Amino acid sequence: MNDFNTSEVKKFLSLRKKLMVAILFASSFITSLTTAFHYYFEYKKDITYLNKSLNQIGNSNSSSLTRSLWNLDDLQIQVQLDSILKVRDIVGVAVTDEDQNVFYENKKTEIEEIVSFSRTFPLFLNPDKKVNKIGELVIWSTKAHINENLISRLTVFFLSQFVKTLIVSFTMLYLFRFLVTRHLDRIVRFLRGVDLNSLNIERLSLDRPAKTVDELDYVNDSINLILRRVERANLETNEKIKRQEKEIQMQKAASINSARLASLGEMAANIAHEINNPLTVLAFSGKKIKSLSEQEEVNKDRLVHFANMINRTIDRMCKTINSLKTLARDAEDDVYEMVNIYDIIERVLDLCQISIAQKGVEITTEFNDLPKSFYIRCKEVQITQVIINLINNSTDAIKNLSEPWIKIDVKERNGNICFSIIDCGSGIPEDIQSRVFEPFFTTKDIGEGTGLGLSISAKSAKNHNGSLLIDNECKNTTIRLEFPLGC
């Protein structure tokens, strides 16, 4: 009904799912980026703070340490350095003399093992002028606390960002579903179900609040507009098809009529020929009667003989003309009547014997012991037309063979009457057998055959609740008309 080709070749993934993946991806990326920036700035801040503290410690202790070093007061130096070492992040302290010899050193652990860096503060006797350097104060510090602190703070920051992202994403998805996708689902369901061939196509209605309009309302209106046009096109096509069907019917009727008239024309020529002979007989008999009556002694027997000849000839002519009249008309509306089987065949022969004989074809009949008083119920004209059609086909098929013959075989079988028209041909080729009953199928040259003979005949057989079929069991071409005796 509808072609949703895209969904047939590609896997369906709803907009909602696509949006969910996109939002999650984008928000995770943004969260990671903000966390990274946050980490960078916090780290910078902590390092600056640590440097400031170290400077403060170094500067505030250097004058007293200078004094203690000048006085070589070991104890004072040791107490002062140990108190510096107690400060967090400081992992080692040392005082060296002006020749870089370590005067006193104290480290919390092996400095190399922890991430550390050192700061050196020169010890001047005259710090204001920065002259008379007598040694250096070295402080080792670590960033381990900064890193630990930062990681725990960042974990909290990242988790809170992540939860926020999830809440925002699902809220957005819900809103998207509420505002967009449920309406899109409705549109898809509607389009899948709509019958585009109908003359009264259902319209789409999204049932949305009517205060404002948005894109979906435009889509709704556009779809309905298209459906209206499709509906109108369907109506027009429907009317066009009806018109064409009517035209085809009329053309068919005209063709059938012309086919009948064509065979009628062929027959008329035969009839004219047949009437011509009796006319000669009539003219001859008339002349004879006239000359006999002019004789002095009228030979009565001869007169009666020629008078009888005239009567017989006129009878025969009347019969032929009557047969022609009945055959020429449309027998569709005829009523069923009881007809003698021998009479039917006689009338058939009346109409076609001469033309058959002219083509050199011998025709015989076989009644298979059917009694002379055998009557069947049928539309006589239709049955006559069918048999003549079959005889004409046979004549056309075999006229060029040597010693051509046709046999009309009539028999009763299982309550059916069977008329078999057998000719000396060797059967209808198998590849065309299924088509010979189609209207307008012919193997004859253009203008020689309409291809309607067998299709009209098959219709007449069907009218009699019977059938017209090719009997392939017979070695010669055989077409059989068969219908129930009491049809």
Ligand X SMILES: Nc1ncnc2c1ncn2[C@@H]1O[C@H](COP(=O)(O)OP(=O)(O)OP(=O)(O)O)[C@@H](O)[C@H]1O
Task: Residue 450: name its binding partner from ligand X, Mg ion, none (Cβ under 5 to 8 Å by kind).
Answer: ligand X
When the beta carbons of 263 and 323 are compared against ligand X, the nearer one is 263
Return the residue of 92, 135, 453, 466 that touches Mg ion, per CB under 5 A: 453
Only one residue has tokens 């009727």, namely 253
The smaller minimum CB distance to Mg ion, of residues 275 and 469, is found at 469
Closest to Mg ion by CB, 340 vs 443, is 443
Binding site for ligand X (CB under 6 A): 259, 389, 393-394, 397, 423, 425, 428, 436, 441-444, 449-455, 477
Number of chain positions touching Mg ion (CB under 5 A): 2
Taking the least distance from each CB to ligand X, the nearer of 75 and 446 is: 446
Please give the Cα distance from 68 to 104 (Å, whole number): 12
Q: How far is the CB of 203 from Mg ion (least distance, A)?
A: 55
Per partner kind, with CB cut-offs from 5 to 8 A, the member of Mg ion, ligand X, none near residue 278 is none
Return the range that interacts with Mg ion (CB under 5 A); candidates 6-14, 54-62, 266-274, 450-458. 450-458
Quick one: 204 or 461, whose CB is closer to ligand X?
461
Q: Which does 127 bind (CB under 5 to 8 A by kind): ligand X, Mg ion, none?
A: none
- Which of Mg ion, ligand X, none binds 394 (CB below 5-8 Å, type-dependent)? ligand X
Q: Which is nearer to ligand X, 77 or 436 (CB)?
A: 436
Least Cβ distance, residue 441 to ligand X (angstroms): 6
Residue 395 within binding range of Mg ion, rule CB under 5 A: no
- Return the one option of Mg ion, ligand X, none that residue 444 interacts with (CB less than 5 to 8 A, by type): ligand X
Nearest approach in angstroms of CB 479 to ligand X is 6
Which does residue 443 bind out of Mg ion, ligand X, none, counting CB within 5 to 8 angstroms by kind?
ligand X
Task: Compute the least distance from the CB of residue 371 to ligand X, in Å.
Answer: 29
Least distance in Å: CB of 246 to ligand X?
24
In whole angstroms, the minimum distance from the beta carbon of 264 to ligand X comes to 12
> Closer to ligand X at the Cβ: 106 or 442?
442
Q: Nearest distance from residue 306's CB to Mg ion, in Å?
A: 42
Binding map of Mg ion across residues 137-176, x = CB under 5 A, - = no contact: ----------------------------------------
Provide, rounded to whole angstroms, the least separation between the CB of residue 472 and ligand X. 12
Residue 234, contacted partner among ligand X, Mg ion, none, CB below 5-8 A by kind: none
> Cα–Cα distance between 487 and 224 in angstroms, integer?
57
Strands 337-340, 375-378: pairing kind: antiparallel
Q: For helices 380-398 and 300-328, give the axis angle rounded to 10 degrees.
A: 90
- Of 10-18, 22-30, 286-294, 453-461, the segment contacting Mg ion by CB under 5 A is 453-461
Nearest approach, Cβ of residue 451 and ligand X (Å): 4
Return the HEC string of the chain. Answer: CCCCHHHHHCCCCCHHHHHHHHHHHHHHHHHHHHHHHHHHHHHHHHHHHHHHHHHHHHHHHHHHHHHHHHCCCHHHHHHHHHHHHCCCCEEEEEEEECCCCEEEEEECCCHHHCCEEEEEEEEEEECCCCEEEEEEEEEEEECHHHHHHHHHHHHHHHHHHHHHHHHHHHHHHHHHHHHHHHHHHHHHHHHHHCCCCCCCCCCCCCCCCCCCCCHHHHHHHHHHHHHHHHHHHHHHHHHHHHHHHHHHHHHHHHHHHHHHHHHHHHHHHHHHHHHHHHHHHHHHHHHHHHHHHHCCCCCHHHHHHHHHHHHHHHHHHHHHHHHHHHHHCCHHHCCCEEEEHHHHHHHHHHHHHHHHHHCCCEEEEECCCCCCCCEEEECHHHHHHHHHHHHHHHHHHHCCCCCCEEEEEEEEECCEEEEEEEECCCCCCHHHHCCCCCCCCCCCCCCCCCCCHHHHHHHHHHHCCCEEEECCCCCCEEEEEEEECCC
Nearer to ligand X, 454 or 481 (CB): 454
Residues 335-394 that bind Mg ion (CB under 5 A): 393
**CA–CA separation, 234 and 224 (whole Å):** 15
In 3D space, the residue among 480, 122, 447 whose CA is nearest the CA of residue 266 turns out to be 447
Least distance between ligand X and beta carbon 362 (Å): 15
Q: Which is nearer to Mg ion, 283 or 432 (CB)?
A: 432
**Site of interaction with Mg ion (CB under 5 A):** 393, 453
